[in-house]
Amino acid sequence: MAIKRILHKFEPQMANEHRILELFHSLKTPRVPQVVDFGPDFLVMTPCGENFIKFSRNSIQDLIQTLQIIHQNGFIHRDIRPSNLIQVNEDVYLIDWGFACKIGDKVKFVGKLEYAAKDILTNPEFPWLTARASQDLHMLLKMFYIHFVAPYPLFKDTKDKNQILEKWEELCPEKCFLRNGFQLCSNLDYLGLTQFLQENYVFAF
């Protein structure tokens, strides 16, 4: 089991995570943690796994299927990153649901800017945004590229969203294969994105 404790100021996120995980458990959503005990400043969850992820074709498929189920039930995660994935045997679990929200909610951006979808980075109301399922998929694709494909640190010490946007534009000229992946994300093509990651990033696993 994993025990998560937080500071008082983060109690709203803890309460949200508890509510979301209880809902997902009732819907029998695969590969998300199950709450076994809770309090105002802690959650006890199962399973407990390793943060180091060794992806395979099957785990890519499982992770995207989990996101698809979550999205079909009207929610998005909003903060997909390597530290929010754990490995339990051959399964990859998506954890840390404190910032999850309903699709269509107007919320402030959370997460790593370098993973953010283009519609977030170009939004004139940033850091406010309207939550969309495609934003999770863009985060997932950018995470894969940054951590498993890029030959050098792309965004080290880069905190400005305009600089990050420019860097992605440089990385993705008109015929770049990444643009195909981004289009799959925008179209909510879960199967297409699964195949894209399996075909293009298999050498990284």
Is residue 200, in this structure, part of any structural domain at all? Answer: yes
Is residue 164, in this structure, part of any structural domain at all? Answer: yes
pLDDT score, position 115: 93
- Check if the beta carbon of residue 25 is closer than 8 Å to that of residue 34: yes
CA distances in angstroms from 22 to 1, 25, 26, listed in the order given = 16, 5, 6
What's the rounded Cα separation, in Å, for the pair 170 and 164? 10
pLDDT score, position 205: 43
Three-class SS state of 86: strand
Is residue 23, in this structure, part of any structural domain at all? Answer: no
pLDDT score, position 191: 97
Is residue 111, in this structure, part of any structural domain at all? Answer: yes
Domain span at 124 = 49-204
pLDDT score, position 52: 62
Is residue 179, in this structure, part of any structural domain at all? Answer: yes
What's the rounded Cα separation, in Å, for the pair 13 and 11? 5
pLDDT score, position 113: 92
Q: Please say whether the dihedral angle defined by the alpha carbons of residues 118, 123, 126 and 127, taken in this order, is positive or negative.
A: negative
pLDDT score, position 199: 86
Tokens encoding 57: 């074709």
In tens digits, the chain (205 residues) has pLDDT values of: 777 776 666 778 888 888 999 999 888 888 898 888 887 778 788 877 777 667 788 889 999 999 999 999 999 999 999 889 988 888 889 999 999 999 999 999 998 899 999 999 999 999 999 999 999 999 999 998 888 777 667 787 777 899 999 888 888 876 677 889 999 999 999 999 999 998 887 544 4
Long-range contacts of 83-86 (CB under 8 A, 24+ apart): 83/51, 85/51, 85/53, 86/47, 86/48, 86/49, 86/50, 86/51, 86/53
- Check if the beta carbon of residue 150 is closer than 8 Å to that of residue 141: no
pLDDT score, position 42: 80
Q: How many domains does the chain have?
A: 1
Tokens encoding 162: 């305009």
Terminal Cα distance for the chain, rounded? 27
Burial class (CB in 10 A: 0-12, 13-18, 19+), 78: buried
Is residue 146, in this structure, part of any structural domain at all? Answer: yes
Alpha-helical regions (H) of 8-132 = 11-26, 57-72, 118-121
Within 8 A by CB and 6+ apart from 39, the residues are none
CATH number at residue 87: 1.10.510.10
Is residue 14, in this structure, part of any structural domain at all? Answer: no
Q: What is the DSSP letter of 50?
A: B
Is residue 27, in this structure, part of any structural domain at all? Answer: no
